[in-house]
Homo-oligomer: A and B are copies of this chain.
């Protein structure tokens, strides 16, 4: 289904080439200041136009349809819509019979009998990360809101920060532009790894077992198109350590190293949550690729036109941040 969360519920809708995409947020507390300008910074971080990204430039201005009155949330469902302004559906129709390697064309066509809006990937489009980013803006506000009464004021102070850790295996960011240019010239693409940190959660957020913090974060993160893996704390390296190396000793404030990534037994342990997300290289590449022509039943060579992201992982830190905020706003 199209909804995530139990207490902070996020429902996205829209196709990348229909009239609009958007999101309904349920469970937003009242009295949080919110205006349409609050979304600008994060939308810019996700926006096309950065080095090595596609030139498509949408207006991407949010319109709040409900849930906000005179600059404050009302507690009622909050709806944000983005109108689609740059609809070029003809580009996509060929992929119904000649699926692009790495895309959902093949699986979507079989599942939905070719009926599911072939234009722009329909509900599979990366454009749906735009309402996610918008939901993340609201979630981050919730995670920093003032609660409690005048006598006993209380303030959440959760900070979430995601950044690109490596591109194409390279961690030295000063070399990235060169790498991106080279791969772009080849008509090829690169993947990347994003690292995300969340602080200020205190001890005991999460539920043991089914709704462990890792379970909930991984669930949401794998909804982002192009994710191939997630690891917490020492991650896959932990499987190659000894217990005496990986275990986090306790100090007076809680665990003193962070091999567990801030989570024990599915609950936050007071240390920062730390996890890394592996993004595949952009699937759409200029380089000719072998694929199958299902209509004519023969192998064919596909060359995808237009310019494409050399590394779409560049746009994803803000999406990872948004997803993390959505999950934590639901768990708190």
Contacts and interface: CB of A to CB of B under 8 A. Distances in A.
A243 B24 contact: no
Given A24-B13, A75-B112, A292-B250, A280 B117 contact: no
Interface residues of A, number: 138
A101 B250 contact: yes
A115 B74 contact: yes
B240 A235 contact: no
B79 A211 contact: no
Contacts of A72: 115
A130 interface: no
A281 B110 contact: no
Interface stretch (A40-48, A49-57, A136-144, A259-267): A259-267
Contacts of A128: 209
A107 B13 contact: no
B101 A281 contact: no
Interface string A85-129: 000000000000001011110111011110111010111100010
Contacts of A110: 203-204
A280 B234 CA distance: 9
Contacts of A168: 239-240, 242
A107 B223 CA distance: 28
Given A115-B31, A238-B281, A281-B243, A11 B3 contact: yes
Nearest to A240: B169
Given A106-B250, A108-B265, A111-B203, 5 more contacts: A1-B9, A11-B26, A30-B116, A218-B221, A241-B281
6 contacts: A2-B24, A102-B243, A123-B208, A183-B242, A228-B239, A243-B285
